[in-house]
Amino acid sequence: MIIDGPIPLEALVAAAAPPDCGGTAIFVGRVRDHNEGRPVLRLYYECYRSMAEKVIRRIEMNVADETGARSLKIVHRVGWLEVGEAAVAVVAHAGHRAEAFDACRSAIDRVKSEAPIWKKEVYADESQAWVVCQHQHHTKGGDTAHAEQRSADRVF
68 located within any domain: yes
Domain that holds residue 145: 2-151
Where does the chain show beta strands of DSSP type E?
A: 2-3, 23-30, 34-35, 38-47, 71-77, 79-82, 86-94, 117-123, 128-131
SS3 139: coil
Does the pTM exceed 0.85? Answer: no
Residue 1: pLDDT band (50, 70, 90) is: very high
pLDDT number for residue 134: 58
Q: Are 1 and 77 in contact (CB under 8 A)?
A: no
pLDDT number for residue 145: 40
SS3 87: strand
pLDDT digits (tens, 9 = 90+) for 77-120: 999 999 999 999 999 999 999 999 999 999 999 999 999 999 99
Q: Among 29, 28, 30, 18, which residue's Cα sits nearest to residue 99?
A: 18
For the chain, the domain total comes to 1
156 located within any domain: no
pLDDT number for residue 133: 66
CATH number of the domain that residue 100 is part of:
3.90.1170.40
Maximum distance among all alpha carbons in the chain? 51
Does the structure show a pLDDT above 90 at 140? no
112 located within any domain: yes
DSSP state of 83: T
pLDDT digits (tens, 9 = 90+) for 4-51: 999 999 999 888 888 999 999 999 999 999 999 999 999 999 999 999
23 located within any domain: yes
Residues near 12 by beta carbon (within 8 Å), at least 6 away in sequence: 26, 73, 75, 89, 91
